[in-house]
Structure 1
Amino acid sequence: MVILTFLLVLLLGCELPEEKNLKKGKLWALVSEPYAALLTRQAEEFHRLYPDAQVSIDATSTREAVVRMVNDSVRVICIDRQLNEEEWQVARAAEIGIIETKIAEDALAVLVHKQNPMENASLASLKDIVSGAKTSWHEVPESNWSSGRIEVVLTGRNSGTYELLTRHFLKLADDPIPSHVAGTSREVLEYVSEHPQALGIVSAAVLQDSLPNIRVLSLEAADSAAHRPFVMLHQANIHRGYYPWHYSLYMYRLEAYTGIALGFTAFVAGIPGQKMLLDAKLVPATMPIRIVQIKEN
């Protein structure tokens, strides 16, 4: 009994080394630009709960974040798509283990200026607009504008938004040539708010910082169960799969590193982090969702 008690005291008195302590240490994470502010708030809350944990968040393009991870130069990234097979192969060839954690569902929002009478958009019309097949608003049936050249504004080719739009949703054979290339999602919002002829596409996550002159379009329903031709961008429609341009948000961490890298990822995927994602108008991936009926025209 004396020996057992002594061992118990030793165990309770031991402190895990920092590289294995989930709530202590420093971590640098790269995050796809639309989600940098949200993950920064998550890092601040993590630090508030665990003062010995310091997480620094840097915004970057999705492609840059992936390149840095498969080159073993960053421990944690948060991006708006899954790693593709080529990226997994690069990691395996370098014997780099990577752990994937799905944390939320988000969607792409289609924006126009409020002077534009357009409220709904079919997926065919959006493909024609982004690809350049239609260049004037009078060519778009849902617009009801008699004239005006369409000004498409997108973030750059390395952004997750661009990849999702052109490769996953529209499946364009050629890269589109937008009227304006924005450096950030915020710049897309600003451009649309200042140019009545503009159409912009951003992550729904950035709409909390939206501007008063912007309208978010309802899109053609992805499922006949929606019982309406167009559905607005809303958490319930994303969760049910009615909104067509929805996608998953992922965190990746290097398997070789546990400690705070695992601790912060677990925090975001756990109850506190998921509640913050819900409050940010995303759909949490790991907590139950309660659907509230919404009225749409």
Structure 2
Amino acid sequence: MVSSHNCNDSAPGALPMVTSRFSQATRMRRQRRSAAAKSTGIAATLFLLLILLAGGCQQTQVKPDTSVTITVAGATSMRPVLVALGAEFSRQFPLVILNITGGDSTIGEDRVRGGQVDLAASTLISPSIPSDVTAAKTEQPLVRIPIGLDGLAIIVHKTNPIDNLTLAQLQELYSGRTWNWQELTNVDEEVQLVTREDGSGSRALFDERIMGEVPVALTAVVMPTSDDVVKYVAEYTGTIG
């Protein structure tokens, strides 16, 4: 299971979020109104860049010629988006350095709460939840800003002839009830499941939308990032991830 990104309203999936310890709600509302006046794609980009700027300047006053580092942790599926946005932001503001670290959605949020990073990239919030919902009251309450829509793709090895699976078939595969591809294709090969770890936003979405109350089989290979899922499935026949 790997994530794909889209800033259009028509894309399915969960809302990627940037989570910040930025508490100036009034200024944020003005920023949101300003960004909403643009097109959807541009608004998504501006939301992230404005929050990045605020996150880097929330407490410490620095001289105009002093560099500032903003650290981001969280969902690995959002890394390509963050790298692209960060490159453009740094081009416009050369003294701002964006440091993107690994982890997953849960780790990112925990690190923001602990003050270890400035921002967290998260895909844990459902589209049905209002975008202005904040985390439960803690010493460091979080502010969530949606920047786009995150989709979920299922992939198989290139030698696998299957090109379509129903949700029911996916559940049968990942529960371990379907253990040989011959039940779905003419290939007699054992199914090798690949999944993300608990705490991953991609895994949470997969469990919610596909597995429901059915647990993923214990035989599944667990990978720490979406890139690792892609590499593993590309290398080994019989895999699905």
TM-score by length of 1: 0.53
Among candidates 164, 171, 175, match of residue 127 of structure 1: 171
In structure 1, the partner of 2:88 is 45
SS in 2 for 1:121: coil
C-alpha distance 127-175 of structure 1, shift in aligned 2 (>3 A): closer
Q: Distance in 1 between matches of 2:210 and 2:115?
A: 30
Q: Distance in 2 between matches of 1:29 and 1:152?
A: 30
TM-superposed deviation, 1:193: 1.5
Q: Distance in 2 between matches of 1:155 and 1:71?
A: 24
Give yes or no for the alignment of 1:156 onto 2:203: no
Query: Counterpart of 2:135 in structure 1: which amino acid?
Result: W
TM-superposed deviation, 1:168: 4.1
Q: Distance in 2 between matches of 1:123 and 1:100?
A: 30
Among candidates 123, 133, 150, match of residue 80 of structure 1: 123
* Pairs within 5 Å for 1:223-238: none
Query: What does the per-residue CA deviation read over 1:123-154, in whole Å, with 9 as the maximum and x for residues that have no partner?
Result: 100011111121111223xxx22421111111
In structure 2, the partner of 1:33 is 76
Q: Distance in 1 between matches of 2:99 and 2:123?
A: 19
In structure 2, the partner of 1:147 is 188
Identity between Structure 1 and Structure 2 (%): 22
Q: Which runs of 5+ in 1 are unaligned?
A: 1-17, 201-297
Query: Counterpart of 1:165 in structure 2: which amino acid?
Result: F
Which of these two proteins has the greater Rg computed from alpha carbons? 1
Q: Which runs of 5+ in 2 are unaligned?
A: 1-56
**8 Å Cα contact 1:156-1:182 kept in structure 2:** yes
Query: What does the per-residue CA deviation read over 1:205-254, in whole Å, with 9 as the maximum and x for residues that have no partner?
Result: xxxxxxxxxxxxxxxxxxxxxxxxxxxxxxxxxxxxxxxxxxxxxxxxxx
**8 Å Cα contact 1:154-1:178 kept in structure 2:** no
SS in 2 for 1:111: coil
Q: Distance in 2 between matches of 1:49 and 1:153?
A: 40
Q: Distance in 1 between matches of 2:167 and 2:113?
A: 34
C-alpha distance 114-175 of structure 1, shift in aligned 2 (>3 A): closer
**8 Å Cα contact 2:181-2:190 kept in structure 1:** yes
In structure 1, the partner of 2:41 is none
Among candidates 90, 94, 98, match of residue 55 of structure 1: 98
TM-superposed deviation, 1:61: 1.4
TM-superposed deviation, 1:70: 2.9
- How many residues align? The count is 174
TM-superposed deviation, 1:44: 1.8
* Pairs within 5 Å for 1:49-198: 49-82=92-125, 88-89=135-136, 92=137, 94-140=138-184, 144-198=185-239
**8 Å Cα contact 2:135-2:141 kept in structure 1:** no
**8 Å Cα contact 1:130-1:178 kept in structure 2:** no
Query: What does the per-residue CA deviation read over 1:7-48, in whole Å, with 9 as the maximum and x for residues that have no partner?
Result: xxxxxxxxxxx5478x97331111311222331221121111
Q: CA RMSD in A?
A: 2.5
Q: Distance in 1 between matches of 2:100 and 2:175?
A: 34
